[in-house]
Amino acid sequence: MTVIAVLGAGKIGEALLAGLLQGGRSAEELLFTERHPERAAELTGRYGIAGVEVAEAAKRADVLVVAVKPQDIEPVLAELAPLVGPGSLVVSLCAGLPTSLYERRLPDGVPVVRVMPNTPMVVGEAMSAVSPGKHATPEHVALVKEMLATVGQVVEVPEAQQDAVTALSGSGPAYFFFLVEAMIDAGILLGLPRAVAEKLIIQSAVGAAKMLAETDEHPVILREAVTSPAGTTINAIRELEKHGVRAALLAAIEAARDRSVELGKAHE
């Protein structure tokens, strides 16, 4: 039996625990740590999973999933350092933090796998990218992929690409939410009730995403299919290009990538 402990039971940590349960793991195979007692009691009541201290998690678990905020990583690593060895697998869900950070702070030989998930994990539709550290074996990576497959889709990338992944899919849901928010406001500006505008745009987003996922058509082809000569859509596209929306999006994603790099360097 492989025991998995999630260190930090925020939204992502809870979503992973729920996904692992739905994927067939028993509550006895899972542990979590949580600083706030009321939150720990809530999760134990909801899922039947034991909340423990970090030391007990390190002692009992085969896999330690670190799901704390990047700025909170140092005390966690300081607590783990005397407790883990090469027999423990450490899985990092912390944006921007390289496997080399864990390998420096933890005993030699501890395998580390870096993961960049995103928040659709809470509805079982995450996009996660995994990268092994220098001590992680293909078996370690396969185990992490199996875990993450319970909450969405998984790809493996070289770690050098993780900052780009963080900017693109890690932060990606926020860009879509931002666009949907703006489109709902546009509907209200045009005289639609908010509830109607929300329904129109959210279902349009769901439908468009499903077309992208299921038709295998390039986004340009799908967009052109909506864009009739001298029609309403081409006029809207012209305005988007006039206002530099494409360039702004490219710049925004580059800025997110740069911030991910900064987070990693802050712990060098």
For the annotated binding site for NADP(+), the residues are 67-70
- 188: which 2 tokens? 């209200």
Give the phi and the psi of residue 45 in degrees, each rounded to 5.
Answer: -65, -35
Structure tokens at 103: 């390998």
- What would the two tokens of residue 32 be? 């979590």
Cα 257 from chain centroid (whole Å) = 15
Q: Are 130 and 77 in contact (CB under 8 A)?
A: no
Q: Please, are residues 131 and 111 in contact by the beta-carbon 8 Å criterion?
A: no
Is the CB of residue 67 less than 8 Å from the CB of residue 233? no
The span from the CA of 237 to the CA of 256, in Å, is: 25
Feature table: binding site: 67-70
